[in-house]
Amino acid sequence: MSADVLAVTPNPCMDRTLTVDQLRVGRLHRVQDSREDPAGKGINVAKALRVLGQDAVLMGFLGGPVGVRIRHQLSQDRWRMAFTSIAQSTRTNIKILTSTEVTELNEKGPEISDEEKDTFLDGLTKAACEANFAVLSGSIPPNCGADFYCQCMNYLRDGNPDLFILLDSSGPALKNGIRSAPSAVKPNIRELSDLVGRRLENPADAAAASQTLRDDTGIEYVFCSLGEQGMVLAEKRGAYYVKAPAVEPVQTVGCGDSAVAGFLAGWKQGLELEECLRWAVSAGTAASLQTDIGLNSIGDFHEILNQTIIEQLV
C-alpha cells in the first residue's frame, strides 16, 4: 500500500457525544442528541491533512464492537487503513454537552497482547518502506510500556531509515520517545515545561527551552505550540516564532493536531521551513474557529495564512 504519510494512533477511541439540557449527578436525563465519531490524535491529523489536500494511511490498534464501528465509519469516509486487530475492545470516550459545559468520561483503553504488539510493530516496518513521513500521536495503550514509541521508531526505521518521524505525545510517552530522536516533536508549552522541568510562559522562554531540547536530544525540529500565542520552532539555524492572529475561538481541542498537519502539508509540497511553520499556525488557528474537533474544512485557513508573520528570535 503506497502511503506517504502514516498517521499512527496507538490508542484511538470512539467519541460518544450526548447532549442534555442540564446535567445533574444522580438524576435520570433525556438525551436530546447523540453522535459517535472515530477519534484519536493521529486520526485528527489525517483529517486535517485531507482538508489541506494531502492523504494519509491510518494505523493503530482496533478491537471489539467499538473497533468494528470505527472501521466502518472510517471506510465510509474512504480512509486507507492498516489497523492491527486486537481481542479487547477499543475505548469509548463519553462527552456530555450542556449549553454551558462539557463533562468527559474517558476509558483507559484496551490491553494489547504481546502477539498483537508484534503484529503491529512488524506492520510499521512494512508500511514505512513505502512512506516518507510518520506521525506518532497521543497516548500509548496502558500495558504497552512507556518506551513503546521508541520501539515504534526502531521498527519504522528498519523499514525506511530516511523516514521523517514526528512525535506528538505527552507525559512518559513523550519523555521516553525523545530518547530515540524523532525528526521532529511538537509539545505544547505545558508539555515542554514538563520536559525541561521549569515553567515556560512566553515565546522567548519556549524558544530557549526548544533549543536546549534540540541540543540535548539531536531532534532536528522542535516545535512548541503556545495556544493563542502561536508557535515557536527551533532548528539548526536558530529559533523562529509565528504569532497566531487574534481570533475568538469556538473550541480549541485538536488545534495542535491540525497544526501538525499544517506543517506536514507545507513540507510535503516542498515549501520553505519558515513557510511550513506559518502553515502550522494557520491550520491550528483555523481549527479553533470550527465547531467540530480539529480542522474539518478549509474555512479561514488562507485568510489566516495571509495574516501570519514570521519572526526570527535567536
Ligand X SMILES: Nc1ncnc2c1ncn2[C@@H]1O[C@H](COP(=O)(O)OP(=O)(O)OP(=O)(O)O)[C@@H](O)[C@H]1O
Which DSSP symbol is given to 163? -
Q: Which three cell numbers stand for residue 179?
A: 530518547
Among ligand X, Mg ion, none, residue 139 binds (CB under 5-8 Å by kind):
none
Among ligand X, Mg ion, none, residue 252 binds (CB under 5-8 Å by kind):
ligand X
255 touches ligand X by CB under 6 A: yes
At a CB cut-off of 8 Å and minimum separation 6, what does 90 contact? 12, 13, 14, 61, 62, 63, 64, 66, 67, 70, 109, 110
285 touches ligand X by CB under 6 A: yes
Largest CA distance in the chain: 59
Could you give the C-alpha distances from 42 to 166, 199, 202, 226, 248, in angstroms and in order? Answer: 11, 28, 27, 20, 26
CB of 262 to ligand X, least distance (A): 8
Nearer to ligand X among residue 128 and residue 287 (C-beta): 287
Nearer to ligand X among residue 64 and residue 172 (C-beta): 172
- The rounded distance, in Å, linking the Cα atoms of 198 and 193 is 5
138 touches Mg ion by CB under 5 A: no
- Name residue, grid cell 449527578: 25
Among ligand X, Mg ion, none, residue 247 binds (CB under 5-8 Å by kind):
ligand X
Sole binder of Mg ion in the list 38, 256, 262, 284 (CB under 5 A):
256
Contacts with ligand X: how many residues (CB under 6 A)?
Answer: 21
Sole binder of ligand X in the list 180, 193, 288, 296 (CB under 6 A):
288
Q: Which three cell numbers stand for residue 36?
A: 459517535
- Among residue numbers 41 through 80, which ones bind ligand X (CB under 6 A)? none
- Among residue numbers 210 through 229, which ones bind ligand X (CB under 6 A)? 225-228
Which DSSP symbol is given to 55? -
For residue 282, give the H/E element and its range: helix 273-288
- Residue 294 backbone zone (phi > 0: left; psi -120 to 50: alpha; other: beta): left
Nearer to Mg ion among residue 47 and residue 71 (C-beta): 47
- Among residue numbers 103 through 142, which ones bind ligand X (CB under 6 A)? none
Sole binder of ligand X in the list 18, 253, 273, 310 (CB under 6 A):
253
Instruction: Check if the beta carbon of residue 109 is closer than 8 Å to that of residue 139.
Output: yes
Q: Which residues bind ligand X (CB under 6 A)?
A: 188, 225-228, 230-231, 244, 247, 249, 252-257, 259, 281, 284-285, 288
